[in-house]
């Protein structure tokens, strides 16, 4: 009887990860709801505290309460820590602390870290965790150093340093939280290349994935670079370049965004508007003032997101790359999906298309629910909000601040699913994979 009870509560890796994120969110919500977290010294509505905590742990950036003015330094520091834990994964921190304390890392713990960091094997995993944390803190330090050259002259030494650290962590973790106040993000720095390019660099580095950066660090020639890293890097470059050009074309004459800037500023802010949706959530120009084409381009970039094993969310660049390569292979009449002299298994292709369909269906369902609960909002703005939550981006056209109770709950669930992964959550409820002992006769159906 006792063995059966133990077996009953023996959680799988995906269940531990799903539950772990939920526990961190709850702890953060409790801390943020306390009077010591707000500038007014009053307790915060728990739903808003829970929304903020969910957004921070899921590194999204959607907020119902202005981070810069509503929360004091204690509350902002809690948010910053939640962003760091959510961005890198609580299992990475737990493993690092265990190593520092001299604890033995069991096989089960290694498997959990592998699941959390989305790596290929458990070999050298503890060493990789040390590298990831060391690399993260080093990049965030240099990012904060560059930002401090602008923030210290503006805010003074102490506040300038704090602002630099907060925004460096937020940008690297692709969170999109800012302390500028009044939901303004970095719109006051449209003509400041140091701040916009530094934040962009942090977003790109954090969004590439630690596996990719480990290969870049140990670079031994182009032939030694894995096909995964090649697809991630090529897809990322194409999305940034194409996104920048299209954003420039769509918004160059729009006086509400780029219209009144010189050409240098237009290209700088077009670049920033192409980088941030994948999946950081900072904005240097008005998102609400964008043209329909600009908003739709942002929605597409938000849906694709960053790369696997990174701090970013969304469908992921590698998944998007596999889908595009499969379409090309079908058009060319090839049997397998191929790239860089390698072919990909059918299981990998099926999973990529399954993730695409799950993501699309989730965004559609959330948009439909929001359309019912927020009847005064336009369709494009609701689609924008739903995609932003799914991609853990944090960009909004102002809908977040106008959400009612049901809308907030729906967006919280969407942020959670987007960060943990809808497939991971689905697998958490499945105990065992069922192996088919038979195959049905092949059926024929007309498509296209």
pTM of the model: 0.87
413 Cβ contact partners less than 8 Å away, ≥ 6 residues apart: none
- Let me know if residue 443 belongs to a domain: no
Going residue by residue through the chain (448 aa), what tens digit of pLDDT does each one get? Answer: 444 444 444 655 566 667 778 898 999 999 999 999 999 999 999 999 999 999 999 989 999 999 999 999 999 999 999 999 888 765 565 555 555 555 555 555 555 555 555 555 555 566 777 777 888 889 999 999 999 999 999 999 999 999 999 999 999 999 999 999 889 999 999 999 999 999 999 999 988 887 788 788 777 777 778 898 899 999 999 999 999 999 999 999 999 999 999 999 999 999 999 999 988 889 999 999 999 999 999 999 999 998 887 778 888 899 999 999 999 999 988 888 988 888 998 988 998 998 899 999 999 999 999 999 999 999 999 999 999 999 999 999 999 999 999 999 999 999 988 887 765 555 555 545 555 666 778 776 766 6
Cβ atoms 174, 136 nearer than 8 A: no
DSSP helix/strand/coil, 338: strand
**Residue 132 belongs to domain spanning:** 11-428
- Let me know if residue 125 belongs to a domain: yes
Sign of CA dihedral 431, 317, 110, 93: negative
**DSSP, residue by residue, 296-332:** HHHHHHHHH-S-TTSS--SS-HHHHHHHHHHHHHHHH
- Let me know if residue 442 belongs to a domain: no
- Let me know if residue 49 belongs to a domain: yes
- Let me know if residue 433 belongs to a domain: no
Sign of CA dihedral 47, 52, 55, 61: positive
Could you say which DSSP state residue 118 is in?
T
- Let me know if residue 280 belongs to a domain: yes
- Let me know if residue 216 belongs to a domain: yes
Query: Total structural domains in the chain?
Result: 1
- Let me know if residue 6 belongs to a domain: no
């Amino acid at each position: 009887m006792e063995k059966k009870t133990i077996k009953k509560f023996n959680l799988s890796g995906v269940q531990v990860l799903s539950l772990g994120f939920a526990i961190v969110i709850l702890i953060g919500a409790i801390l943020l709801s306390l009077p010591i977290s707000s500038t007014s010294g009053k307790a915060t509505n728990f739903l808003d505290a829970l929304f903020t905590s969910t957004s921070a742990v899921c590194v999204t950036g959607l907020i119902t309460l202005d981070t810069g003015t509503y929360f004091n330094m204690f509350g902002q520091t809690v948010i910053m820590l939640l962003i760091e834990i959510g961005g890198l994964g609580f299992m990475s921190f737990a493993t690092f602390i265990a190593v520092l304390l001299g604890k033995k890392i069991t096989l089960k713990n290694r498997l959990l870290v592998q699941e959390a960091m989305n790596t290929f094997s458990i070999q050298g995993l503890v060493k990789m965790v040390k590298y990831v944390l060391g690399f993260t803190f080093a990049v965030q330090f240099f990012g904060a150093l560059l930002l401090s050259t602008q923030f210290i002259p503006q805010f003074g030494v102490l506040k300038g340093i704090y602002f630099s650290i907060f925004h460096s962590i937020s940008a690297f973790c692709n969170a999109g939280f800012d302390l500028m106040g009044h939901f303004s993000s970095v719109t006051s720095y449209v003509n400041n290349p140091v701040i916009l390019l530094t934040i962009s660099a942090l977003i790109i580095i954090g969004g590439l994935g630690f596996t990719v950066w480990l290969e870049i660090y140990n670079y031994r020639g182009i032939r030694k670079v894995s096909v995964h890293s090649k697809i991630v890097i090529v897809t990322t470059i194409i999305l940034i370049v194409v996104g920048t050009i299209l954003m420039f074309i769509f918004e160059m004459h729009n006086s509400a965004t780029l219209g009144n800037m010189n050409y240098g500023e237009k290209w700088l802010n077009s670049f920033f508007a192409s980088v941030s949706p994948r999946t950081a959530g900072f904005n240097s120009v008005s998102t609400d003032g964008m043209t329909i084409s600009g908003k739709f381009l942002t929605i597409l970039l938000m849906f694709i997101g960053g790369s696997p094993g990174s701090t970013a969310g969304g469908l992921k660049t590698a998944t998007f790359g596999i889908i595009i390569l499969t379409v090309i292979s079908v058009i060319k009449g090839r049997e397998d999906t191929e790239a860089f002299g390698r072919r990909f298994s059918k299981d990998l292709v099926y999973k990529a298309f399954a993730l695409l369909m799950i993501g699309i269906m989730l965004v559609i369902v959330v948009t439909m629910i929001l359309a019912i609960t927020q009847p005064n909002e336009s369709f494009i703005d609701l689609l924008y909000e739903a995609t932003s939550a799914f991609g853990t981006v944090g960009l909004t056209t102002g809908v977040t601040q106008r959400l009612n109770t049901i809308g907030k709950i729906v967006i919280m669930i969407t942020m959670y699913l987007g960060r943990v992964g809808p497939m991971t959550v689905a697998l958490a409820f499945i105990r065992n994979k069922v192996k088919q002992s038979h195959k049905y006769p092949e059926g024929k159906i007309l498509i296209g």
